Amino acid sequence: MKLSISKHELNEAIQQVAKAASSRPAIPILGGIKIDVTHQGVTLTASDTDISIQSFIPVENDEHVIAKVDKPGSVVMPSKFFVEMIRKLPADTIEIEVGDSYQAMIRSGSTDIQMVGMDPEEFPVLPAVEESEVLQIPGDLLKAMIRQTVFSASTSEQTPVLTGVLWNLQDGLIKFVATDRHRLASRTAKVDTAPEYRFTNVVIAAKTLVELSKLIPDGSALVEVVVASNQVLFRIGTLLFFSRILDGTYPDTSKIIPQSFKTELVLDTRKLTDAIDRAYLMSREEKTNIVRLMTLDNSMIEVSSSSSELGKVTEQLEAASLEGEPLRIAFNSKYMLDTLKVIDSEQIIISFTGAMSPIIIKPTDHANSLYIILPYRTTN
Amino acid sequence: MNIAAVPGQTKAKRILQYVLKSGKVSHAYLFSGPSGTGRMALALAFAKALFCTAGGDDACGECLECRKFEHGNQPDLHRVAPDGASVKLGQIQELQREMAFRTTSQHRKVYIMEHAETMTVQASNSLLKFLEEPLSPTVAILLTDNPLAVLPTIRSRAQIIPFLPFPPEQMLQELVNEGQPHLLARAAVHLASGIDGARQLIQQNGFAEMRNVVIQLGKEGLTRFTAAMITAQQRLFKTELGEQSELFLSLLLLWFKDMIHFQAGRQEKMVFIDQSEWIGTHAFAHSVDYWVECMEHTLEAGKRIAANVAPQLAVEQLLVNLQEG
């Protein structure tokens, strides 16, 4: 393998992919960045097995030559050292030559570096992309969908599949679901894809989706998504982000959503968030996070919490509408706050079927989001 | 290393090679036997064969999966070892997290757990749930030298692969072929259950010196009580060897055993073969019963040390007992 390449372009691509390289790799090869050189360009890949990031540098861009390839080939370079070294090289152009047994020679200006590489064949294989089965999601929508669901995923490894977010695609409609058995977040959106393209039970680790979200630039530029048998690929410009799929069957959550309600409230999202936030300060001291909500007359509701040490917080709010039976319910204020903070609508509908039944929260202006919180059983 | 290259353990190897050939791979194996009998070596060789793409009853050593395995680059192999004194719940949960993803290729996921008997109750229960309901094809290889200390419900769900201590003759031959000192190897193979343990013993600081001390005390303890007491003081307890009283007693036991071997005409079984001449002139001075009694006194000293009697006191008492016959 032999090439010369623009330091700026190489450094930029390396910085992107290095985010996936593990600082304490489980296996030696994952401590490296794989470099694949063809006459079309240079592909850099890094992985920690959970996620992999790949970046492509074309040989030329808008008539501007970025790289000159003398001999195609592949090598895996030790990530930590390679990243630092490329960043600190003096000249604008870098020459890389790899000989037998993956000995690499890197030249830049008057600097010569010899580095021992690793066998690229041993690097984890990333799935081949079936271009026919692609779905396109605007970046800002994907980021919003991630933000509005990941918080409900479980943080306990006891049931690994619940540490992820379930993705289902059917009839051009994509649905994200996350639950930790105490709460649930669901978000649906129409996406651009072939109508016959569908998948079910694709579960992506919440941690991975948070990392993906950081890589998606602001704006509505399209992100392409391809689901393979064991990984999902996201194409963000010239960057490819691969995520492994969690094993196991995600529980069917549709059965826990009530179809009829005894009490329904429409409330101002901001005002309710602030009221619960204040009540949360008190409930947090008790380590229980319990906040109570009670309906009053004249479309009023009362939010309260108490602490045996500190005292009590009570606040009354006016509901935009209040229909159905009187209600007194207790819930985890942190779960409610997490939910309210991701709802972008000005008003929300909260529906109840009783003091011990799931609390359903939805925005008023669209039917794309649904949140469930299980109430607490309290003695008073 | 391939299965065929693992020394000894013919029965265990035969079982595993049949499993590979027939394709009837169980989801859990318990490799049970004394430490140093090659359990880890065979576990790794078996795992390598499970990943090998060539098929057959052993790893080919040439395919990409074998090369990845040899270089430690097999992402679907996971290893768990005790964190301190035990395998903890957090380690099992981390293992579950690692195993929770769909496999990166067509083969199974494999995990090897050392000292499975050290799992805490919570860790055992968590592993049990995992053993019962693996998400995808998974093979668990649990290693233990005390199968009865492993949760019975785990034991019943695993196929037990027995590992037998190596015959000393076989170990001796192997160690000598490696170029280990013959006299030290002769002693080491009787003290370790496996070749690795014997090798470590030979290379241990002071093993050769301890052997010399045992020869001197073995001779003096029978005939010159005062000299024996001084030797024990000067060469044993005033040196670093004093901390290895267990090793001292084990070697002394072999010394008395050699007396019986000589009497029975089994000179080839002797450990202190370089002392044949001295042993030859003294072995018949007493009956076999006397030498057995000497061995009993030695074992008794070991029990006392285990019961927290000061090693020096226990050894001095032993020398008194030997003197009194």
- pLDDT score of A299: 87
All domains of chain A, ordered by start, with CATH? 2-122 (3.10.150.10), 135-244 (3.10.150.10), 258-373 (3.70.10.10)
Spatial distance between the Cα atoms of B6 and A273, rounded to a whole number of angstroms: 66
Contact B102, B129 (CB under 8 A): no
Q: Domain B3-162, CATH 3.40.50.300 — does that match?
A: yes
Range of lowest pLDDT (A116-125, A333-342, B200-209, B298-307): B200-209
The pLDDT value given to residue A261: 85
* Inter-chain touch A122–B135, beta carbons under 8 Å: no
The two tokens of residue A316 are 């009354």
Percent of chain A with pLDDT over 70: 96
Q: How many CB atoms lie within 10 A of CB A65?
A: 12
Whether B73 sits inside 8 A of A29 (CB atoms) is yes
What is the percent of chain B where pLDDT is above 90? 36
pLDDT of residue A333: 92
For the segment B254-279, the average pLDDT, to the nearest whole number, is 89
Please give the pLDDT value at position A81.
77
Query: How confident is residue B105, by pLDDT bands cut at 50, 70 and 90?
Result: low
**Average pLDDT score, chain B:** 87
Residue A113, pLDDT above cutoff 60: yes
Average pLDDT of chain A to the nearest whole number = 88
Secondary structure (DSSP) of A196-264: T--EEEEEEEHHHHHHHHHHSPSS--EEEEEE-SSEEEEEETTEEEEEEBBPSPPP--GGGS-SS-SEE
Q: What is the pLDDT of residue A152?
A: 95
Which has the closest alpha carbon to B50: B158, B135, B137? B137
Q: Using a CB-CB distance cutoff of 8 angstroms, which residues of chain B are in contact with residue A101?
A: none
- Per DSSP, helices labelled H in B141-180 are 152-155, 168-178
pLDDT score at B35: 77
Asked whether the predicted pLDDT for residue B171 surpasses 80, the reply is: yes
Rounded alpha-carbon distances, angstroms, from residue A316 to A301, A330, A332: 6, 16, 18
Q: Identify the closest residue of chain A to B101 by CA–CA distance.
A: A246
pLDDT band at A130 (very low <50, low <70, confident <90, very high): low
Task: Identify the CA nearest to A310 among candidates A285, A333, A280.
Answer: A285
- Residue of A27, A49, A247 with shortest CB distance to B135: A247
Parallel, antiparallel or unpaired: strands A41-47 and A51-58? antiparallel
Lowest mean pLDDT among A174-183, B94-103, B120-129: B94-103
CA B17 to chain centre: 23
Q: Give the N- to C-terminal CA distance of chain B in Å, as an integer.
A: 52
Per-residue b or e along B50-66, where b marks 16 or more CB atoms closer than 10 Å to that residue's CB: bbbeeeebbbebeebbb
List, in order, residues 6 or more apart from B53 with CB less than 8 Å away.
B63, B64, B65, B107
What pLDDT digit, counting tens, does each position of B284-293 carry? 888 999 899 8
State the smallest CA–CA distance between residue B275 and chain A in angstroms.
51
Q: What is the pLDDT of residues B237-263, one digit of tens each?
A: 878 787 778 788 999 989 998 999 998
Q: At residue A379, does pLDDT exceed 80?
A: no
Judged against a pLDDT cut of 70, whether residue B181 lies above it is answered with: yes
pLDDT at A275 over 90: yes
Chain A contact present for B96, CB below 8 A: yes
Going by C-alpha positions, the residue among B157, B192, B147 that lies closest to residue B174 is B192
Local confidence band at B151 (pLDDT 50, 70, 90 cut-offs): confident
Amino acid at B262: F
Of A31, A28, A30, give the one whose Cα is nearest residue A244: A30
Domain ranges of chain B: 3-162, 168-202, 205-324
For residues B119 and A47, what is the distance between their CA atoms, to the nearest angstrom? Answer: 31
CA of A124 vs chain B CAs: smallest distance (Å): 8
Residue ranges of E strands in B19-172: 28-32, 77-80, 109-113, 138-144, 159-162
Q: Report pLDDT digits (tens) over A341-353.
A: 899 898 998 998 8
Which residues 192-251 on chain B approach chain A with CB closer than 8 angstroms?
A: none
Q: What's the half-sphere exposure (Cβ side, CA atoms, 13 Å) at B51? A: 29
Domain at B205-324: CATH architecture: Up-down Bundle (1.20)
Beta bridge partners of A225: A135, A234
pLDDT score recorded for residue B1: 73
B97 touches chain A (CB under 8 A): yes
Burial (CB < 10 A; 0-12, 13-18, 19+), residue A114, is exposed
Q: Which residue has the higher pLDDT, A148 or B35?
A: A148
Confidence band of B120 (pLDDT split at 50, 70, 90): very high
Q: In what order do the strands lie in the sheet with A300-307?
A: A311-318, A300-307, A290-295, A328-332
Residue A129 pLDDT grade (very low, low, confident, very high; cuts 50, 70, 90): low
